[in-house]
A and B are shown apart, each in its own frame.
Chain A
Amino acid sequence: MKFSQEKLNKVNEIIARYPEGKQKSALIPLLHIAQEEFGGWLDVPVMDYVAELLHINPIEVYEVATFYTMFNMKPVGKYVLEVCQTGPCMLRGSDQIIDHIKNKLGIQAGETTPDGLFTLKPAECLGACGYAPMMQLGKFFKENLTIEKVDALIEDLKAAAKN
């Protein structure tokens, strides 16, 4: 397992942002890149590789990776539906959105569909309270959700996965 040359250049560019000897500061940005590159989650060999790149002990990577919610410690589906469930979204119907996804996909919170396509990951406030209910899908937010929009989104993603 190794980053591509392009990613390695990016890694070096990130490390150069910090003073000499403070390369550990690049850890969280590197974990984001690693998670994107190696299947959407951080397996132990992936974390060990990041430790090697930064010349730090593997435990320093494990303790950070397990602290932050954006890092997945077990495999996830191709599409992770991170639906916000905190107060302001709740006021605008996030409970119904989450229940609908559970019923539609036949999974509970934190589970992945048997075909490996979808994981439902209820999330805490994502900073889109004015456009609630909402979810994070990969890099972007899907906002002002309705049951119909969620249905259409899931169908679109299923179609995209086939192509």
Chain B
Amino acid sequence: MAVKLLLDKAHIEGIRYYDTWRKNGGYTAVEKALKMTPDEIVEEVKKSGLRGRGGAGFPTGMKWSFLAKPEGVPRHLVCNADESEPGTFKDRYLMEFIPHLLIEGLIISSFALGSSATYIYIRGEYAWIPDILEEAIAEAKANGWLGKNILGTGFDCEIYVQRGGGAYICGEETALIESLEGKRGNPRLKPPFPAVQGLWMRPTVVNNVETLAAVVPIINMGGEEYGKIGVGRSTGTKLISACGNINKPGVYEINFDLSVEEFIYSDEYCGGIPNGKRLKACIPGGSSVPIVPANLLFKTAKGETRYMNYESLSDGGFATGTMLGSGGFIVLDEDQCVVRHTMSLAHFYNHESCGQCSPCREGTGWMYKILKNIEYGKGKMSDIDLLWDIQRRIEGNTICPLGDAAAWPVAAAIRHFRDEFEWHVLNPEESQTRNYGIAHYADPREVVA
């Protein structure tokens, strides 16, 4: 039986509201945490092995312990709710349906980090969600969980919600901070890191929604117990937002010992692929992570079963593996064209590049134009090598990881689906009327049968 730590109460009628949340064990974690010292809370989070759920997977406890604490300088916790990675919609689910879980996590984390003014930076397009969050904050405040001298501890805390203006780049923590300061979302050069000079040049921790929500079960059960759930360095549970060509798109809480095959085909999760179609490829961690063909998805190159966790998904590196990333799980069936899909993603990154670093600003545009030519039957064979060359020159040469995020999907598409690109070039007319199909990346289920 799969363990649920975040969505265990999601099915309860009215769980969005304080009274129901409280009746079902809500705010016990805050009660417990506020009797501990801030350092003890940080220690529990360290012991839990929790890794940042926004995509990078950096250990949260370690990030917290980097926070500078100069005398007399206020510190801030900022919740990154700028969920914009294509394929990812898990934080939206948490905020929309179980907002008090996040609020509870924010109160505990604010206490642990010493933040008396905590900000939730939410993507502007989630325009109706700030109302839900602000209602939950007001309820928490009315019941004494926020405001002045919370539970008699002398700790004051306010949580504010701020909407962004529609920019993927603001999910990068320093761009988010710039945006929160009322500026363009241009990422900052690091160092200094936000832990030393962040929001208004004050020490700041920026954490993803799901990460902060996970602090609640960690406090309730203890860091050590939380750390026992999972596999190796993938501890706890993970929300996966599944989309694309599957029968049951949606948000699922998974355990890290779940196989990728079961996740796609089990009725408990994605429920298989519609219309009896075969599986062609998958992007398991949001659009930035490498696409993998079906034959490398269920088994690693070494022939071992692939599981839904950080280590197993990245087994084989970028040559034959991918990443868990943000958990934005995108499935492509046999009718999908990898060239067209890659072109769509290239357009996305070109549109979302902030324009600060030339390799990304120019390179993303070149990649999109070349992909468009290939997709529409105007490509040359040399274009494929040119694409490869451009992505290689973007990766690692920009201030923030948007450059890498734009390069990886193109690199992986060429690495695994080069024949499909070549077919487009060699068959400019035919490629306009039909798709390449599934070719050698056979559906592993079919091979077995």
Contacts and interface: CB of A to CB of B under 8 A. Distances in A.
B412 to A, nearest CB: 13
B380 to A, nearest CB: 25
A32 B344 contact: no
Interface in B92-145: 92, 117, 119, 123-128
Contact of B181 (A17, A25, A68): A25
Given A87-B341, A129-B88, A68 B124 contact: yes
A90 B182 contact: no
Nearest to B335: A91
Contacts of B125: 70, 123, 126-127, 136
Contact of A124 (B163, B168, B330): B168
B182 A129 contact: no
A127 B126 contact: yes
Contact of B184 (A64, A70, A86, A87): A64
A87 B83 CA distance: 16
A63 interface: yes
B287 A87 contact: yes
B244 A127 contact: no
B197 to A, nearest CB: 15
Contact of A130 (B158, B242, B287, B336): B242
B165 A130 contact: no
A87 B87 contact: yes
B348 interface: yes
Contacts of B347: 85-86, 124
Interface string B170-192: 00000000011111110000000
Interface string B15-50: 000000000000000000000000000000000000
Interface in A21-49: 22, 24-29, 31-32
A128 B89 contact: yes
Contacts of B283: 87
B273 to A, nearest CB: 11
A29 B166 CA distance: 12
Contact of A68 (B160, B164, B344): B164
Given A25-B181, A136-B125, A87 B345 contact: yes
B165 A68 contact: yes
B249 interface: yes
Contacts of A139: 127-128
Nearest to A35: B165
A78 interface: no
A69 B336 contact: no
A80 B354 CA distance: 24
Given A25-B182, A88-B330, A67 B243 contact: no
Contacts of A128: 89, 92
A147 B245 CA distance: 18
Contacts of A63: 184
Contact of A86 (B74, B241, B348): B348
Given A86-B86, A88-B87, A124 B352 contact: yes
Nearest to B158: A17
A68 B84 CA distance: 13
Contacts of B352: 124
A70 B92 CA distance: 18
A34 to B, nearest CB: 12
A90 B183 contact: no
Interface in A119-155: 123-132, 136, 138-140
A79 interface: no
B163 A32 contact: yes
A28 to B, nearest CB: 5
A24 B182 contact: yes
Q: Which of A70, A92, A130, A140 has the most CB of B within 10 A?
A: A130
B195 interface: no
A91 B336 contact: yes
B110 to A, nearest CB: 15
Interface in B233-291: 241-245, 249-251, 283, 287
Contacts of A124: 86, 168, 347-348, 351-352
Contacts of B127: 138-140
B123 A85 contact: no
Contact of B344 (A26, A90, A92): A90
Contact of B330 (A22, A32, A54, A91): A91
Nearest to A67: B184
A71 interface: yes
Given A25-B182, A67-B184, A91-B336, A129 B128 contact: no
B162 interface: yes
Interface string B301-332: 00000000000000000000000000010101
A130 B84 contact: no
B332 A91 contact: yes
Closest 8 CB pairs of A and B: A68-B165, A27-B182, A130-B249, A70-B166, A129-B243, A24-B182, A69-B166, A125-B86
Given A17-B117, A70-B165, A127-B123, 18 more contacts: A25-B180, A25-B182, A64-B182, A64-B183, A67-B165, A67-B184, A71-B166, A87-B345, A91-B243, A91-B332, A92-B244, A124-B351, A125-B84, A127-B83, A127-B88, A129-B87, A129-B243, A139-B128
